[in-house]
Structure 1
C-alpha cells in the first residue's frame, strides 16, 4: 500500500495508561467503505454538526453528511483520467473480528497545481475522515486511537513520495469544519495557509476561496513525516 506506513498510534488502557495500538494502512475496499457508511458515518451525522456561529468546537465536524460510497467511486473514476487517485484506509484489528476502519483518505499523488505562481505536480489531500469518539465507545468498546487525522496526512505525503515526487503537498480545508479545522491544519500540523488573494489552484477547478488551501513544501512535508519515523 505504502512503502513506509505508520504501524502504531497511541491510545489508553482501562487504567488510563498510554498504550500503543497496532494499525494497518490498507487499500480502501468496498467492504471497508460499506462498514464506514453503515456504522461509522451514522454516528458522525447523529452527534456532530457543520460549523455555525455559537457551536462549541467539539460539536463540529466537516464530514457530517459525507457519502463515502460516492467518494470512493469518485476516487476510482479519477484513476481513469487526469492524475490517478489513491483511496486508503487506516484499520485496527478488534479481537475475533474483521479489521475495522478508523480513518479514511482519498488523495492524488501528483496533481498539476499552481502555488505562488509556480505550476508543478503536487500531492493533494482530497477527502479525509477519522472515526469519532462514539465509534470507539459504542462499537470497539475501547479508548480512542489518538492522532488519526494527523497520521492520515502522513499517509498522503507518503503516497506522494512513493509516486516519485518530493513530497510537496496541498490540501483543502472544508469550510464546514470552521475555525476548528483551520486551526488543526495551520496551528497543529504547521501547514501554510494560502492568502485570500492567491490565484486559482488549477486552471479548471478549485478556482475559488484560495485561503481554504494549505501547503507543505518538500522540506516541511519531510519534517512532518519524520515525526512518525519511529512508528514505521
Structure 2
C-alpha cells in the first residue's frame, strides 16, 4: 500500500461519510483484503475520535498537502537553479516543522488522557462488508432482502427480518452480530459471534468482532483474552489485534 495524498483523501472521505454507497462498499472490500489499509484507516479514525478537534485535523491535513505538492512540483521541474533548490528545501523543512508541531498537539491530546471503551470501540469498529448472495429459492429471496437492509445500514430491519426459514450460516451470524452491535443489543451480538465455529471461514473475523463487542460492553478482560486468541491464530487480523491490545 502506497501512502499517497489520494489515499489520505479517500480515507477522510470514508470517515466523514462523503462516499457514495457504491464507493463505500468498494472501499470496505479493499480494507478486507489489505491489512495495511485497515491499520491506516484505524489510525485516522483514532485521531478523529480522540482529538475531536477539527482545527488540528484540518491543520495537519493542509500541511501534509503542502509537503506532497512541494515534492510533486520539485520532481516536475526540469531545470533547477541553486535558488530554486534552496527555496524548495527550506519550504519542505518549514512544512515538516509545522506538521511536527501539529502532530505534537495531537500526541498531547491522545496520550495525555485515558481512552474510554466507547472511544476505543468507535475508533476501530467498521461493520463487516457486504457479500453477494445468489437468489433462487424462497429463503434465498428473504436472505437477499435481509442483505440489502444490511448494505444500506438498516440494522433494525435486519434483526427483525430473520425467520426460521433462513438457514443459520456463519455469514448470517456475522451480519446479525454486527446489526445487534448497531442497535445496542450487545449481548445478542456476542451470542451471534460466539456461534461461529473454528471450522468456519469467518471464525477469525468473528473473534475480531467478538473482542469489539466485549469492549463496547466494557468487559475489557474478556476482550483481551479474545485478542490474545486472535493473535495466536496468526491470520490476517493478527496485527490489528496486537494494535488494539496495546490500547486496552
What TM-score, normalized to structure 1? 0.23
- Larger RCO, structure (CA 8 Å, separation 6 or more): 1
What TM-score, normalized to structure 2? 0.22
Greater per-residue strand proportion: 1
Greater per-residue helix proportion: 2
